[in-house]
Amino acid sequence: MALHYQLSATRRDGVLDTVVVADGSGVVVAGAGSWAACEELAAFAPLMLRGDVGLERVTVQDVDIDGERVLLCARAREGSPNPQVRDEALSRAALGVSRILRAA
């Protein structure tokens, strides 16, 4: 539940369409946005991180949780403000996701 609240705040603050935390195989751990979009984004995240595929307006970050890797993924809304707003929101989200998962 805490992850969902963290991602919802990130979605709002970063003017994002979808924000999701996925495991290394592309399975949704938590998300904010439509469920179908969360699943799609999570599935592509490992491929994007490796550089095998690129999606428009999508950012993927590796977040280390005590040696375990999760992927923080976001798709910006069409016509959203500059990427700096998105990047700042995602940096805060990465810290929050790390804190929440370490406490779990």
CB 11 within 8 A of CB 71: no
63-88 pLDDT, tens digit each:
999 999 999 999 998 887 678 888 99
Backbone torsions φ then ψ of 57, nearest 5 degrees: 65, 20
Token digits of residue 24: 């290394």
Question: What is the Cα–Cα distance from 81 to 45, expressed in whole angstroms?
Answer: 23
Per-residue pLDDT reduced to its tens digit, 1-60? 999 999 999 999 999 999 999 999 999 999 999 999 999 999 999 999 888 888 888 999
Quote the domain boundaries for residue 77.
2-103
pTM equals: 0.91
Number of domains present in the structure of the chain: 1
**Residue appearing with tokens 């929440």:** 100
CATH code of residue 80: 3.30.450.30
Q: What's phi and psi for 14, nearest 5 deg?
A: -90, 0
